[in-house]
Structures are given as C-alpha cells and as structure tokens.
Structure 1
Amino acid sequence: MIPHYSSALLISDIHLTPSMPLTAQRFFDFCEKEAPKVEAVFILGDLFEYWVGDDAGLLSPFQQEVKRAIATLSTKVKTYYMHGNRDFLVGNDYLSKTGMTLLSDPCKVSIGGAEYVLSHGDGLCTADVGYQIFRSWVRKPWIQKLFLRMPLKWRRAIANHLRSNSMVQYQRYASAAPEKNLLRSNVTQTACAALLAAQNSNKLIHGHTHLPTHHVEHFNEQEWQRWVLSDWDLDHPESVMPKASALLIDEQGVRYLDLIKA
C-alpha cells in the first residue's frame, strides 16, 4: 500500500557540506520553519555532498548538527529519504538515528488526492551510457560491502578522486559540446515513459539534473507531467544565482516554494 498524505514538501540535491555554511543553515531553517507545516517531507537524494559510510560523521560537529536537525524534524512530521547518486551509502544506522524512512527508487505516493512517482533521477539519464554502467556497479550490495570495509581514509580518498574526475569530465564536455552535454546529463523521454508505464502513472517528480521546472511531455501514446526539484546553493553567488526551493503539494495542487525569499 502506497503512503497517503494530504500535504507534503519535496526537496533534493541540498549537497550538505561544511564548506557551504549558508546552504546548510537554510536547510536547518527549513527543518524548523517550513517542514513542520505539512504532513510529510520527502528528501529525494543527494542530501549530502558525498557519503562514504555511516561511521564517517561520528566525530564531525557539522554532521552531528545535521543529524540532530533531521531527528527533530522526524518527531514532528513523517520524513522519507531516497538515495541519490552522491549519498547512496546512507545506511540503516543513520536512518534509525534520524528517524527517516527509506524509499525505494522509484516509488509511488499519494499526496493531496493525486498519485505521483518519485525518483532521484540519475537512473533516468540513459543517454549517459558510461554513467549508467558505473551506477549499476556501485549499487551492487557486494561492491558496497567491500567499500565499507575499507579504512575511512581510503574511502574518503576514493570519493574525492571520483568527484574530481566527474567535475573535470563534465567541464570538458560542457566546453566542447554544451548542447550534447545537456542532453547527456538530462533525463530522457524514453526512460521517463518506460518508468511511468511500469508504474501505471502520469505524474513524475525527480531531482538530480538541477533544472527545476514543470514539464508536460508526450512520447508515442503517453502523456505525463514531470516536476524537477531544485538543487540548493547559497554559497557561490560569484558563479551561480542563489538557489533553494521545495515542491509543495496539497489539495490545492503542486507549486514551487521559493526558500530564498521565504
């Protein structure tokens, strides 16, 4: 049976890290001010910049503050969590201590009287064949078990190396062929159509692409609506406009909530 709520807020791609204190503070404020006003909060992945195991933040004051904020929120509203491409190693220990309930990707929920399919979104970027191969490997349980048995120092080094390589590759593609890079890093209509057909739905919500907007799309006989969640960044005004929003759904419908002006 799918979860049913009269109201909910959905967020993703907060990329929490000590090096982005303004973004982190806005998340703490969100947990305290906006989130308790609805029945449920859905965090659709990439809450953290990266996650190399539940043990990694034990001695981090920043991570302890994040954990307290989420744990407090979970006592006020039902809080759901979905793995993203940066934090798919968030485990049962962290979920238990924060009170969050893990969602499968994809999953279906009912909010405000309508049903929606939720996904982080990276699995829908099927034009990036290389990434999909990488994703299929790192999501294997035995690979994850091997990684989590490594010393924490090694895990952090591997994560930083992968992040660095990913950034270099993205910049290379973006400068050489910006239009192709946009197609490569975005979801495909064929993937969205297949997912919604399998879920018997015509409403999709996801994050990952950092391209927040509402789409009405068609593919063959299918028609659907797609809402993309915003990433958050209040710490780099020199390179990007400040970004922070949530998707609010209730009986009045679906709308974006600007968390910068709030």
Structure 2
Amino acid sequence: MQIPKGKKIYFASDNHLGAPTKALSLPREKKFVAWLDMVKEDAAAIFLLGDMFDFWMEYKRVIPKGFTRTLGKLAEISDSGIPIYYFVGNHDLWMDGYFEEELNIPVYHKPKEFTFNNKTFFIGHGDGLGPEDKGYKRMKKVFTNPVAKWLFQRLLHPDFALRLGQYMSVKNKMISGDDDAKFLGDDKEWLVQYCKRKLETKHRDYFVFGHRHLPLNINLGNNSKYVNLGDWIQYFTYGVFDGENMELKDY
C-alpha cells in the first residue's frame, strides 16, 4: 500500500469493552469512538489489533449485546471507504464472519505482513507468540478447537454462555490495567524474543502488537523496531505511521 500524501495509518488495541462492567466500560467506549472520529479525517487505514471486546462470541444468529456506538462508528468509517483490519486477540477468539459480512472488515486469526511506503510491518495481537507461555498455548488449542466450540455453543444457551464467558474474561488479570503489566526487560519479554527470532530469517521494519497492555517502542537493531500499542484501560495509547515514521501517541 502506498500511503497518499497527508494520510496516515492508525493502530489501536486492547479496549476490553464490557469490562469490568458495562457501566464502567461505557466512558472508555465513548472515548474510543471519539478517537475513531478524529482519525477518520486523515486515515489511509485503521488496524485494530484485538481484544476490542473483553469477551466476544458469535453464533449463527446471535452476537453479544451492546457496543452499539463502536460497531456503528466502524460501519460508518468502513462505508466511507477507509479500510479497517481486525486481528483477533485472546478475548475475542470466536469471531466467525460477523465483521466481514456486516462491516466489511477483514478479520485475521494470525499475524500478517503488510508493506506501506516500502516499510515492512509484521502485525498481530501478540498472544501465544514467543518461546514461553506454554500454558496459554495449550489452552488456546482447546478454545479454538472446532469440536470444543461446537459443544460449548450447542450445550449452553447463549444467555448463559455469554454471561459465563464474560465472567471468566473479567477474572483475567490482563484486563485490569494495573501494575501487573510491567516491562520485564528484553531477555524476558516474549514478544521481543519472538521479533528477534523472526529477524533471523527476514528483515521487517516494524513489529506491531498489542496484548501486553504496555506502550513500548523498542529498538531491535538493524533499523527494526518492536512497537506495543498499550491499551485503552489505563494508557489510551495508539500507533500512527505517517509514511516515514511510526510513533506512539496518547489520546
């Protein structure tokens, strides 16, 4: 993609809308919608890197109640011709066609490479990458198993299933936005290690992830950087690429 003059590419991640309650989440949702209104003025594209909802599951004819402001704004922006790309996170693994069919937003379940103005970006949510986190990797295999998903949806009424899923998601410390999320150092940050291993086989200018709930901009050497977008719980940070440079900004 060649970015038109005066246009930018925007990135955001980890809103966890709906957590810890609908009422407490609403001000954050309104703030995010205001951000979308701002960036649509000069956006060449918008990338949402997962966990926009604290829990999301799609049935054939049922989706979670709420989030009307966000979904409506995404539809408006998509209809205006600005492309939006969505990468599922660990809290919204069970996306299954709704965004593509209703919002014309492609959904990716794995990291993907893009090129903007001859700069190569490797983009994804960031969960389950790197040499560790083996417990989560095993759990993710269960959650994404088609049989397990079918049983969960067929044996439980949607009202109960969505309530249970929301309860379990809120219990996850990664949505707390508190001091649990601390930079561990390059040698212990799994995503840093993952990026360095990927660079052994191919150069990328930027690795852009979410998941860690920390705004990070780390030089990997050889003109390559790892950018973590932070979150919309505590930091309200986002990434912006102007065609030449990638920055983290506060909203």
Instruction: Give the shorter-chain TM-score range.
Output: 0.7 to 0.9
Tell me which residue corresponds to 1:252.
Answer: 244
TM-score (normalised: structure 1): 0.78
Tell me which residue corresponds to 2:73.
Answer: 69
- d(CA) in 2 for partners of 1:196 and 1:98? 34
Are 1:193 and 2:185 an aligned pair? Answer: no
Q: Is the 8 A contact 1:15 1:47 kept in 2?
A: yes
Q: CA RMSD in A?
A: 3.0
Shift in Å, 1:97: 1.0
Number of corresponding residues: 236
Amino acid at match of 1:63: F
Q: Is the 8 A contact 1:196 1:204 kept in 2?
A: no
Equivalent residue in structure 1 for 2:208, among 200, 205, 220 = 205
1:88 aligned counterpart, secondary structure:
coil
Amino acid at match of 1:13: D
Equivalent residue in structure 1 for 2:63, among 27, 44, 56 = 56
Unaligned runs of 5+ in 2: none
Tell me which residue corresponds to 2:228.
Answer: 228
Shift in Å, 1:37: 1.2
Tell me which residue corresponds to 1:111.
Answer: 116
Q: 1:246 to 1:100 in 2, by over 3 A?
A: same
Unaligned runs of 5+ in 1: 234-241
- d(CA) in 2 for partners of 1:216 and 1:33? 29
Q: Is the 8 A contact 2:99 2:107 kept in 1?
A: no
Are 1:134 and 2:139 an aligned pair? Answer: yes
Between Structure 1 and Structure 2, the one with more helix by share is 1
- d(CA) in 2 for partners of 1:25 and 1:14? 11
Q: Is the 8 A contact 2:54 2:169 kept in 1?
A: no
Equivalent residue in structure 2 for 1:154, among 144, 149, 160 = 160
Amino acid at match of 1:94: F
Q: Is the 8 A contact 1:12 1:229 kept in 2?
A: yes
Shift in Å, 1:43: 0.4
Residue by residue over 1:102-144, the C-alpha shift from the partner in whole angstroms, topping out at 9 and shown as x without a partner, is 2342100112331110010112254222111111221223322
